[in-house]
Copies of this chain bind each other. A is one copy, B any other.
Amino acid sequence: MQKNFWTEETISTLLRKHGLRVTAPRIAICKQLLAQHCHYSAQQLHEELAPLHPTMSPNTVYLTLNQLAAIGLIRSFNIDGNTIFDSNTATHDHAHCRNCNTLVDLPSNSEMPPVNMGEWALEWGTRLWSGLCPDCKQSANTTSAS
C-alpha cells in the first residue's frame, strides 16, 4: 500500500463499494485507522478522535469498527478481553507484553494448518505471543537481582 493511498476520496469509494454511506464519523475513523498500520481498541480510537470530533459517541466507534471488520477492511482479535482492531490485513503474528501491554507486529512465519483440517473453511488467523518486551524483561532482571 503506497503512502497516502487512503485519501478521503479512496475511502469514500471503498465505503460506497460495500454499500456503506459516507459520513463524517466513518471518514474520520477510516483515516485514523488506515493512514498507518496500527492497533486500536474502540476506546483508544474514540479517545484519539474526541478532540477533533467531540460529538462522536463511543457507540458509533464500536459500530463502525465492527462494520469495517465485517467487510474485511480491518481485522479484529482479542487480548485479555479487549477487542483490538488491526488495519494490517496481511497474515501476521503479534507479540504482546503481559506487563506493559505493548503490542507489536511480527513478520509472519505462518502457514495454513495441515490438510487434515481441510474440511474447515478457515478465513483468518493470528498468533499472539505472550511474554515480556525488552524493557520489562530488563526491569524484571534488575529487580530480581537486587
Contact = CB atoms under 8 A, between A and B. Distances in A.
Interface string A76-92: 01111101000000000
B127 A127 contact: yes
A interface majority secondary structure: strand
A93 B107 CA distance: 18
A42 to B, nearest CB: 12
A126, A129, A132, A134: which has the most chain B beta carbons within 10 Å?
Answer: A129
A62 interface: no
A137 B120 contact: yes
Closest 8 CB pairs of A and B: A127-B127, A125-B129, A122-B131, A119-B134, A123-B131, A78-B78, A121-B132, A121-B137
